[in-house]
Amino acid sequence: MIAFEILERHGKVHTEIVPNAAKKPLQAAIQGQVDLNRIIHSDGGRGYDGLVDRGYKKLFRVNHGQHEFARGNCPINGIESFWSYAKRRLAKFNRVPRKTFHLHLKGCEFRFNHREEICIRYLSY
């Protein structure tokens, strides 16, 4: 079980649990969430091989193994801000059961995507 995330640049994150990091499950998750006209920035994982052949406009990769974290002015480590947020949130639970992890992950996704909205609640007695 692997937590897979897609982050729209300056936008929202989408999380999904995939069985492994192979090409088929990763590309199925991408096709379900990413418009074909989008440019994809990723790491060098082999699961992304063939995305352009499937109709995606462009795919840019960075090689973390060679200490590369951006291609031009487009870094791909923005997803790290989500994981920093999610780890802090999940640590409060002191172990999340495997069978409910996907629910906790979706909760983190929702909170991250709506973190800048202001909510004021008035209590009257």
Q: What confidence tens digit (pLDDT) does each residue in 45-85 have?
A: 888 898 988 898 888 887 766 666 666 666 667 788 899 99
Where are the domains positioned within the chain?
2-113
pLDDT, tens only, 2-39: 999 999 887 899 999 999 989 999 999 999 899 998 88
- Residue 70's pLDDT is 65
pTM: 0.79
Question: What pLDDT does 34 receive?
Answer: 92
**Is the separation of the CB atoms in 57 and 36 below 8 Å?**
yes
- C-beta of residue 78 within 8 angstroms of C-beta of residue 7: yes
Tell me which residue has tokens 């999380």. Answer: 15
Fold (topology level) of 2-113: Nucleotidyltransferase; domain 5 (3.30.420)
85-112 tens-digit pLDDT = 999 999 998 889 999 999 999 999 999 9
Q: Is 67 left (phi over 0), alpha (psi -120 to 50) or beta?
A: left
